[in-house]
Homo-oligomer: A and B are copies of this chain.
Amino acid sequence: MSSRPQAAEEPGEPSGAGFSRITKESLSDRAYLEIRTALMRSRLRPGQKLQLRPLSAELGLSATPVREALLRLVSEQALELDERGTAVVPRLDRARLLEVRDLRAELEGKSTARAAEIADPAEIARLEEIHAGIPEALAEERFQRAVELNERFHLELCAMARLPILYQFVTSLWLRCGPILSHLYDDGVMEWDVHPHVRIIEALHRRDPEAARTAMRQDIIQGGSGLLRYVDEAAPS
């Protein structure tokens, strides 16, 4: 079976000689990345069915790797199976969104605290760079760009904690929200006196885990309110 990167954009592991090992990506992995990206970019709507043969035709692959990719996403809870076994983009109700939010607060809080203990200056600079793009994108009303940068900020920060299991949990939580992330700024952009990302970055510089944790939790609980409103409005009466 094919090797599988921990994160989609992660380069191959360096071999002893300083070269990345050249890995041939399987068709199954390619299908997985395509579908996952479509989920994260909100190109797939909650409730949408992903039928095997039409999807395979669309991706230009045979059914086998596409089915494997779908089943993988089902295992990661990014997709569900209906009674017939068809992959469906899950609907996220209020209870589930709150659970996702609380688990993110817990887990990303923990990873951010850990990152504050061990982060190096280059990593922090990288975060600063990513964050700098967010207010820019928002000012230009490029909301999709802002959503992507926000996601990148969170996942790179999480990776800095070097807790791979926790990272996997966090990415799967993000993946669950992928189809509705585009609605984050539907009701407008939240006004912060100091953006929690900035507080996080300061706490990283100061090696202050508790301040980092608190700022992350604030970002998640308050910053995610747009999604909660969207889910409430989308709910059947």
Hey, which bits of chain A sit against chain B, CB under 8 A? 1-4, 26, 67-68, 70-72, 74-77, 81-87, 96, 99-100, 102-103, 106-107, 110, 163-166, 168-169, 173, 176
Contacts and interface: CB of A to CB of B under 8 A. Distances in A.
A119 to B, nearest CB: 18
B1 A81 contact: yes
DSSP class of A's interface residues: helix, strand, loop or mixed? helix
A40 B172 CA distance: 23
Given A71-B71, A72-B72, A106-B110, 19 more contacts: A1-B67, A1-B71, A1-B84, A1-B85, A1-B86, A2-B85, A3-B82, A3-B83, A3-B85, A68-B68, A75-B75, A77-B165, A96-B165, A99-B165, A100-B165, A102-B110, A103-B166, A165-B173, A169-B169
A163 B173 CA distance: 13
A81 to B, nearest CB: 5
Contacts of A83: 3
Contacts of A2: 81, 85
Contact of A166 (B67, B68, B99): B99
A166 B74 CA distance: 16
A17 to B, nearest CB: 16
20 contacts: A1-B71, A1-B81, A1-B85, A2-B81, A2-B85, A3-B81, A3-B82, A3-B83, A3-B85, A4-B81, A68-B71, A72-B72, A72-B75, A96-B164, A96-B165, A99-B165, A99-B166, A100-B165, A103-B165, A169-B169
Q: Which 4 A-B pairs have the closest CB atoms?
A: A1-B85, A75-B75, A2-B85, A1-B81
